[in-house]
Structure 1
Amino acid sequence: MGDKKTIIVFSGDLDKVMASLIIANGAAAMGSEVTMFFTFWGLNTLRKAKKVKVKKDFMESMFGWMMPRGAEKLSLSKMNFGGMGTQMMKSIMKKKNVNSLPELIESAQMMGVKMIACTMSMDVMGIKEEELIDGVELAGVASYLGEADEANVNLFI
């Protein structure tokens, strides 16, 4: 096993996605090869903030309408209080010079963290490739498992 880390990002909660990206950035800064596999609710992290015009059926459109569009729209898993908790957290983070979620994503990409969107989850949730931020790879679970087989750390967040 090499110095390789994998992280499954299943959650779409701001605090959990931030934790996964902080770990990914830290591991990459220490020289590890890092792969993040975004599946189900975690895929919302990778959505573009602006709506992209793509052909969807009714159910796909409904999923797209109900889910947060991009990293800036994610909310806290606890103490959200209708969005007030999320805004408080973002405000405190800014005052303490903690990178925002979009900044953590950009940093991870600049350090070569591989971000993979699960194609099966994309199909189920009606997310199209055009709706994802640049630099994201598309793959299935077999690709993740191949990465995980070579890793010395595998996390599920």
Structure 2
Amino acid sequence: MKNIITAIAVLFAAQLFAQTHEIVKHNGEKLEANFIKIENNLIHYSLPNSSEQHKISRYAVAQLNEKSKNHSKVVSEKINLTEKPDYKKVIVLKESEAIGLKKSEDLRSYLGVAKGETRWTLSEMGENSLKQNAAKKGYQFIVITSNKKDNLKAIAYTY
């Protein structure tokens, strides 16, 4: 009788620890995971049979599939850059939001400044210059490391 009760308890407990979600990345990679939450453009999850919490950028994830209900949620749309005017599609991220994206290249640019420009305008022009440079090379994401008029630097990321 004890063996039967133990076997039934194990069967029910095994379902509680099973993978509940599948994370599908934009690069085609699939990851079995237990979804926790989405916060600050990051998806928090844990791997099967582990309580350690991991993070991935929501921009790296295409969809989140819930296995038990056959329910799928689109997390982010893939960004396709075809020409330089697509620079408005390039997303500026913080360093912590780039987890799961592939680091591609360091971008540099120089900004010619007219006399009398405000700091805010210079900052905006610098960001747009870096975005145009990234779009021209086909990178969807940048992390700006320096936005000074004589020293514009960013790190480019892609799927």
Question: What TM-score, normalized to structure 2?
Answer: 0.23
More strand by share: 2
More relative contact order, 1 or 2 (CA 8 Å, 6+ apart): 1
Normalized per residue, the structure richer in helix is 1
